[in-house]
Amino acid sequence: MIPKVIIPVGYGLNCEDETSHAFKKVGARVDKIFLMDLIKKPDLLGKYHILAMIGGFSFGDHIAAGKVLANIYRFKLGNDVQQFIDEGKLIFGECNGFQTLVKAGFLPRFERNYGTQYVTLTYNDSGVYEDRWVRLKVNPKAKCVFTKGLDEIYLPVRHGEGKFIVGSKSDLQKLQQRNQIVLQYIDNEGLKTMNYPHNPNGSVEAIAGICDSTGRVFGMMPHATAYLSSYNHPHWTRLKIEDSMPNEGEGIQIFRNAVEYLKKNLI
Amino acid sequence: MIHRVIISFKPEIPDTLGIRVKNATENFLNLKINSIRTKRVYTIDADLSRDELKLITSELFVDPLIEQIDEYNQKFDWLIEVGYRPGVTDNVGKTAKIAISHLLNRSLKEEEGVYTSIQYLLEGSKLTYQDVEKITKEFLANDLIERWLIRSSRDVKRKRIEILPPVIRGEEKITVKEYDLNVSDNELMKISKEGVLALSLEEMKAIKKYYSGLKIIAERRKMGLSNNPTDVELETLAQTWSEHCKHKIFNALIHYREGEFEEDINSLFKTYIKRGTEELCKKFPWLLSVFVDNAGVISFNERWNISAKVETHNTPSALEPYGGAMTGIVGVNRDPLGTGRGSKLMFNMFAYCFGNLFYKGKMAANLLHPNRIRQGVHQGVIDGGNQSGIPLVMGREIFEERYGEAKPLVYCGPFGIMPKKISGDLAHIKKIEPEDVIVMVGGRIGKDGIHGATFSSEELHKDSPIQAVQIGDPITQKKMRDLLLEARKLNLYKSITDNGAGGLASSVGEMAILSNGCDIDLKKAPLKYQGLHPWEILLSEAQERMTLGVDVTKIDEFLKLAENRDVEATILGRFRNSGKFHVKYDDRTVAYLDLVFLHSGVPQKKLVAIWEHKQHEEPQFQQPKNLSKILNKILSRLNICSTAKKIRQYDHEVKGLSIIKPLIGKEHDVLSDSTISILEHGSTEGLIFASGLNPHYSDIDTYHMTASVIDEAVRRVISVGGKLPSSDIPFAALDNFSWCDPEQSEKTPDGHYKLAQLVRACKALYDYSKAFDLPFISGKDSMKNDGVVFGTKISIPPTLLITVIAKMDDVRKAVTLDLKKPGDLVYIIGETFEELGGSEYFRFIGEHKRGKEYIGNTVPKVNARKAKKIYNLMSQAPEMELVHSITTPTKGGLAIALAKSAFAGGYGIYVRLDKVPYHGDKRDDKILFSESNSRFIVTVPKDKKDSFESIMQGIAFSHIGFVLEKPIFWVKGADGSDVIKTALDDLKKSWTTTLEMM
C-alpha cells in the first residue's frame, strides 16, 4: 500500500509545494488540506499515515512563531493528533511546523500525553531572520525514524526564531539521555558548535532538531525540503567541476526513511 | 473593558530588540545608555472575565520558558511606550483577536479588539527628557503612524499608565459634496490644490467643459444629479488622470531640440518604448501580453506563461520606510495576481537607491536619515516577501547623496506563472461581459492611502498627507491568494484586477472599459470602521483587495468557497454596457461619468525639451603610487562593498526551485550577477533574472546611461549561460524610470534640460531594444522625485532600472562567477576603453582630492553591433561546457570584477594588464577601473583552451592570467612591474566591513 501524507495548508503556511514534491518523489501520496477543513473534520486524519507540518509563517508568526497555530493543534485537534501518534503514525515538522509542535507540547513529549511545553524556539541571537546553509550532525543513537542511516546533512535554515531553549537543566539531560536530540549544528571540523554562523541562532547544545520518545514525531528548524535536487546546493557549479555532485539532494533521505518505515511497520 | 497585558523576557534571556536599539542609539546619537529592556504590551478592548484574561495571558501571550508578566521591578530611568495611531494596520493585534476567539471558543464582537505596543525601559542616569524624546523620534517611532508616551521611573511607580486603545469611532455624518466649477481660473486651481487633486488648470478646464455639455446635463438630471461634479466624480477624475495612472509626461507632445536639430515627438511611450516591442511582436510568438495589463506576459514553454512587473514605492518609503516598502512589495504582488486570469506568485526582486548612510550633518525637517530609511525599507520588504512565501531572486543597492536629499527609490517586483489555458480560455486574457457580477475580495476598506495616486505625483514637502502611509498585511493577502488560485482552477471567475492606487475607482473603472460600463453601490463595501464618505470608500487604497468579474451562474459557488477559506468577498454591483461609470451610495447616484471621458478626456500635455551637452571638469591627476591601497579603499565604498548581510535576511529559496541563488561562492557571500530558478520541481528549464542600474552616468548623458544599463542586464544574462532573444528564446525586459520633475516651471527652471534627459533615455531604450531584439513587456514611471532641503531644490539623478528575464533550456549548464580551479586560464572578452566618466574611480578620486566627487565626461558607451557579436559567441561557451566561471565587469571595472570572483572562489588570481585589449592612455589605474561595457572575465580550464579560443574568433579577447591556489590578488602593470600584490583576505575584509554592522 502507498503511504498517505496530509499537509495542512493556509493561514500563511507556505512550504506545501516542496513538501508535497518531497513525499511524492519517494513514493507517497499527498493531500493538501485547508487547515479549517481539518478543524471541522478532525477524523480526516485517520485516513493518513504522515502528518506533515510545513514551514511558513502561520498567522504571520504574530505573538510568537507557531504559537497561534500551536494553540489550534493543542485545543482543537489535540486528541486526534495524540491518537494519530498512538496508532504508530508519523509526524514531521519543519521550521514553522517544528515551532508549532514544540509550543503545542507534542515535542519532546516526555510523557505519553501531549500538552506540556518543555522547550521553546525563540529569536535568533543575531536578532534577525536569516537564510543560511548549515552543516548538521545526525545523532546515530537517536530513535528518530526519519534520520536512520544519515550521518551529516547540509541544509539551509530560514528563520528569525530558531533558537532552541530548554526550560531546565534536567529536561536537557532528559533529552540527552533519552537520545531525543536528533540534529545539531556543527562547525567545519564536524563538532557541535555554539559559534555563529555555524550555529546560526545560538541554540542550546547546538540543537537543530529533536524527536519524541517514540522516534516517530520529529521536528527540525532547517529545511530538508530545500535540498531535494542536487542543483539546489548553493555551490553545485563548483561541485560539478570537482566531480563531487551527489545524485540527489541530501534532504530527500529524510522523506524516504519515513515512507520506508511505514511500508515496513504499518502498511 | 480595557485590559493590559505586559510581557517581558526573563532576565537571563537576551533582549535582542533592546540590544539593537541600544547599539543604534549609541552609534548615531552618541548617548550613553546602560541598558534597554523591552516589553510587549497587548491592550485588549473587550469584555473578558477574570478567568478568560488569565487563560489568554498564560496560554497565548506568554511563552512560559522565556517570558514573564511584568512588574517593573528592574532598574530603569525612563519608560517609553510606542503604539500605533488609530486606523493604522496592527497585524499582530488582528491575529491576537482571532487567536483569542479560538482559545475562548467564542467570537469577539466587531467593535472589540486587541492593540499592540512596545515599551522600552532605558537605564542611563545622565539621560534627560530631551534625550529620550530624541531617541524615540529617531529610532523608536514614526510620528506619521505611531504615538508614544515618555515617563520617568518615578512617574511609573507613582501612577498607572493609562493609554486609550487606538480605536476609530466614526461619528461623522456621511456627505456628498458638490463643486461649482463655474468660477475663475484661480478658483479652479484652488479647488485642485486644496483637494490634493493634482489637476492642472487645463485639466480642470476640460472637466468644467464636460459638465457644461447639454447632453451630459440632461443625463445627469435623470439620475438626480446637478450640473456640478460631486466630490466622488471629481476625485475619480483626479485619480484616473493622475500622473501615476495616466503617465501624462510619457504621453505628452514634446518639442525636442538638440543644437540645430528639432523634432516633435508625439508620446515618448508610443514612439520609443512601445514601438520597438510592437515590431518584435511580429517576430516573437512568445510575446503574449505587453503594456496592456497589470503585468507583462510572455510564454515560457508549452505549459506555462510568465507574468512580470516592477514598481516603485518611493514617496511612502521616504515617509515611513517600513510600512511604505512593505506596502510596495505586497502591493506590487497583486499586479501579476491581477493579470489576465491571475498568476501564481513565484519570485520577487528589489533595487533600492539610498543617500549616504554615513551622513553626519543636519537633516531637513521632512527627511529621515538615509540609514534609517535603508533599515526600514529592507525590513519592510524582508517581512513582506518572507511572510508571503515568495523567494527573493535578486536585490541590489545604489548609494548617492541626492537620494538622501530628494527621495529614496524603492523598486520591487514579482514574477508569476499562469497555465496556458483555464477551462479552454487563454489565461493571459481578461474576459468581462455585461451583467458579470463585480466582487471585491480580501481586506476591508478604511481611510488608508487616500490620495496615494495623486500624492505620489507631487514632490515631497513637509505637509505631505499622512493617510498616504500604510502598513501591508502579507498574511491576509496570502489567504486571499490561496483562495484565488483555487477559484481560478475551478473557473469561478472570469476577470480579475488589483486594488492599488486609486482603489475601487481605478480597478472597477478600468475593468469597466471591457464591458463598456459598470454600476456599483458603495454602501455594500465592507468597512474597517464607520464614518467613511462615499468618495473615500471609492478612492481608498486599503491593501490586500482584488476586484473580480464573476459570471452570474458562478457567484454562489464563489462566495461559498470564499467563506470556507475565511476570506471576505462582497458583491458591489454589475458590469454593464451603458458607457457609464455609475456609482451609487445606498441606491442614490453619487457619480455618473462617461467612461470615454473618464479614460480619454485628459488633455495631452505639450512640453519642450532642450538638450545640451554639459561639460564637467575633466579630472587631472597622476596615477596613485599604491594601487593596493586604492583597491582596498574602493572595495569598501558603499556602491562596491558587500551587501550580503541584508540579502541573507531575505528568504531566497522557499519553494525549493532556486538553481543559482542571489548569494554564491564558497562562503555564499558574493552577490551573483544573475540568478536562475526553475518553475517546477524536477524540470531543467529555467528562468534567468538580471538587472541593469547605473544612475551615476546620467549626469553626463542619459542616452549612454540607458545604453549601459541595458547592456549590463543583457550581459548578465549571457554570463550565467543565457542567449540573446530569438523566436525560440523568450527574453524580455521591464523598464522603470524614476525621474525628477521635467516640466519647466518656476519651481523647475531646468525643466527643458531634464525633459531632454528623459527623451535621450527613451531614444536609447528604443535603439538598444532594436539592436538586441529585446522587447519591453511592462514598465512604470515615477516622475516627481524631487525634494526641498533647507530651501534648495534637490533632484535625484535620472534613474532607469532595467529588469530582464530570459529562458534557459538546460539549467544544468549554468555558470557562476566564482573562481573554481587553480591553474585555470583567465580571459578578458571585449575591449576596454578609457571610459571613466561617472565611474566609481573618478568619484573616489574626487572625494579624496577635493572633497567632492569627479564626474568627468568619458561616459562608457555601447557599440551594439560588436556587443551583439560578443554575446552570440559568448553564449556558446557555457552551452559547450568550456568555461568554469564568467563575470561581468561593471561598477569599479576590471579590478572589482576580478576581486569578487576571487572572494567567491577563495582562490587567488594573477593578471597582466599589458595583455588587456585597451584603447587610451595606458595607465594601470585607468585599465583597472575603466567601466567599459560589453566585457566579460572568463576562466577556462587548460584542456579547453583551444576550443574556447576557436569559438571567440572575430571578437576582441585575450588570455590575461591564471587562477592561483594561493589566496593572493596579483596584478602586473603595463610595464611588467607588480602594481598590486596583496592577500585576498585583506581585500575581502575591506569589502565586507563597511556594511557588516548595518
CA distance A263 to chain B (A): 25
Q: Which of B126, B143, B158 is the last residue of a domain?
A: B158
- d(C-alpha A155, C-alpha A223), whole Å: 6
Residue B667 lies in a domain: no
Residues B280-296 pLDDT 10s: 999 999 999 998 899 99
Whether the per-residue pLDDT at B453 is higher than 80: the answer is no
B469: left (phi over 0), alpha (psi -120 to 50) or beta: beta
Who contacts B995 (Cβ-Cβ below 8 Å, separation ≥6)?
A: B357, B638, B641, B642, B643, B645, B646
B389–A12 CB contact, under 8 Å: yes
A132 in contact with chain B, both atoms CB, cutoff 8 A: yes
What is the reported pLDDT for B28? 78
Q: Each residue of B115-162: pLDDT tens digit? A: 999 999 999 988 999 999 999 998 899 888 899 999 998 888 887 777
Inform me whether the pLDDT recorded for B807 exceeds 50.
yes
Geometric angle at alpha carbon B129, from B123 and B130, rounded to 5°: 120
With a cut of 90, say whether residue B985 has pLDDT above it: yes
The cell for A120 is 521553546
pLDDT tens digits, one per residue of A128-162:
999 999 999 999 999 999 999 999 999 999 999 99
Q: Is A96 on the interface with B (CB under 8 A)?
A: no
Is pLDDT above 80 for B454? no
Nearest chain B residue to A33 by CA distance is B565
Q: Is A85 on the interface with B (CB under 8 A)?
A: no
Residue range B656-675, pLDDT digits in tens: 999 999 999 999 999 999 99
> Does residue A108 have a cis peptide bond before it, meaning omega lies within 30 degrees of 0?
yes
pLDDT of the residue at B463: 46
Which pLDDT score, from 0 to 100, does residue B467 have? Answer: 59
Flag whether pLDDT at B458 surpasses 80: no
Indicate the residue type of B676: I
Confidence band for B196, pLDDT divided at 50, 70 and 90: confident
Contact B387 A61 (CB under 8 A): yes
Containing H/E element for A138?
Answer: strand A130-138
B123, B158, B193 - which closes a domain: B158
Helix (H, G, I), strand (E, B) or coil at B532: coil
Query: Is B272 inside any structural domain?
Result: no
Whole-angstrom Cα distance, residue B817 to residue B490?
44
- β-pairing, A181-186 vs A130-138, is antiparallel
| Contact (CB, 8 A) for B419 and B338 | no
Contact B99 A231 (CB under 8 A): no
B65 and A128 within 8 Å at the Cβ level: the answer is: no
In this predicted structure, which of A198-212, B448-462, B849-863 has the lowest mean pLDDT? B448-462
* pLDDT confidence bin for B461, thresholds 50/70/90: very low
Q: Are B837 and B694 in contact (CB under 8 A)?
A: no
Rounded CA-CA distance A138/B727 in Å is 50
Residue B399 pLDDT exceeds 60:
yes
Please confirm whether the linkage preceding B229 is cis (ω < 30° from 0): no
| DSSP class per residue in B136-163 | IIIII--TTTEEEEEEEHHHHHHS----
pLDDT of A163 strictly over 90: yes
Instruction: Check pLDDT > 70 for residue B519.
Output: yes
Q: Select from B298, B546, B577 the least CA-distant residue to B441.
A: B546
Residue B365 — very low, low, confident or very high, per pLDDT cuts 50/70/90?
A: confident
The pLDDT score that the predictor gives to residue B455 is 54
Backbone angles phi, psi at B458, to 5 degrees: -115, 155
pLDDT of residue B579: 96
Contact at CB, B91 and A62, closer than 8 angstroms = yes
End-to-end CA distance of chain A: 6
To the nearest whole Å, the CA of B661 is away from the closest chain A CA by 7
CB contact under 8 A, A117 and B820: no
Half-sphere exposure of A219 (CA within 13 A, CB side): 28
| Cα Rg of chain A (Å, integer) | 17
B689 sits in which H/E element: strand B686-692
Domain contains B325: no
- Residue contact B656–A57, C-beta within 8 A: no
Helix axes B474-489, B555-564, angle to 10 degrees: 140
How far is Cα B628 from Cα B269, in angstroms, rounded to an integer?
A: 47
Q: Which residues contact B209 (CB under 8 A, 6 or more apart)?
A: none
Of A71, A119, A131, the CB nearest to B653: A131
How large a percentage of chain B has pLDDT more than 90? 85
Count how many domains chain A has.
1
Among B92, B475, B664, whose Cβ lies nearest the Cβ of A57?
Answer: B475
Amino acid A187 reads D
Contacts of B651 in chain A (CB under 8 A): 129, 131, 158
Distance from CA of A56 to the nearest CA of B (A): 7
Q: Confidence class of residue B457 from pLDDT cuts 50, 70 and 90?
A: low
Enumerate the β-bridge partners of residue A217.
Answer: A91
C-alpha cell read off for A38: 481539518
Q: Is B595 left (phi over 0), alpha (psi -120 to 50) or beta?
A: alpha
- Whether B361 maps to a domain, the answer reads no
- Chain A residues with CB under 8 Å of B661 CB are 234
Indicate the number of domains in chain B.
2
- B341-353 pLDDT, tens per residue? 999 999 999 999 9
Domain limits for position B894: 615-649+815-998
Matching residue, cell 590575461: B960
Q: What's the pLDDT band for B451 if we cut at 50, 70, 90?
A: low
| Cα–Cα separations (whole angstroms), residue B107 to A7, A36, B22, B58 | 27, 15, 40, 19
Contact B579, B595 (CB under 8 A): yes
Contact B64 A125 (CB under 8 A): no
When the pLDDT of each residue in chain B is averaged and rounded to a whole number, the result is 94
pLDDT above 90 (res B504): yes
Cα–Cα distance for residue pair B589/B409, rounded to 1 Å: 41
The stretch B863-871 carries a mean pLDDT of 98
- Out of A64, A76, A226, whose CB is closest to B656? A226
B105 backbone φψ class: left, alpha, beta (φ>0; ψ -120 to 50): left
Check residue B459 and give its pLDDT.
Answer: 53
Q: Residue B11 maps to which CATH number?
A: 3.30.1280.10
Q: How far B640 CA sits from the closest chain A CA (Å)?
A: 22
What confidence tens digit (pLDDT) does each residue in B211-254 have?
999 999 999 999 999 999 999 999 999 999 988 888 999 999 99
Confirm if B929 and B857 have CB atoms less than 8 A apart: no
- Shortest distance, CA A255 to any CA of chain B (angstroms): 15
Give the residue from chain A lying closest to B116, CA to CA.
A63
Q: Is A40 on the interface with B (CB under 8 A)?
A: no
Report the distance separating Cα B7 and Cα A260, nearest Å.
46
Average pLDDT over residues B531-551: 93
> Domain end: B158, B179, B202, which one?
B158
d(CA B300, nearest CA chain A) in Å:
20
Work out how many CB contacts closer than 8 A connect A with B. Answer: 180
Instruction: Cell numbers for B613, please give them.
Output: 551637452
Q: Per the structure block, which three cell numbers stand in for B73?
A: 521591578
Chain B's closest residue to A132, CA to CA, is B648
In-domain check, residue B500: no
- C-alpha Rg value of chain B to the nearest Å: 29
Average pLDDT of the segment spanning B347-373: 92
Mean pLDDT confidence for B885-914:
98
Find the domain containing A51 and state its range: 4-265
In this structure, the number of other CB atoms found within 10 A of the CB of residue B493 comes to: 25
Q: Which of B408, B409, B317 has its CA nearest to residue B359?
A: B408
* CA distance to partner chain A, nearest, from residue B683 (Å): 10
Which pLDDT value is given to residue B447?
82
DSSP element (H, E) containing B4: strand B2-9
Task: Identify the three-state secondary structure at position B320.
Answer: coil
Q: Looking at chain A, which residue has its C-alpha nearest residue B649?
A: A130
CA distance, residue B685 to nearest chain A CA (Å): 12
> Hey, is the C-beta of A68 within 8 angstroms of any chain B C-beta?
yes
Which candidate from A119, A129, A156 shows the least CB-CB separation from B382? Answer: A129
Position B405 pLDDT exceeds 50: yes
A120: closest chain B residue by CA? B65
Percent of chain B, pLDDT > 70? 97
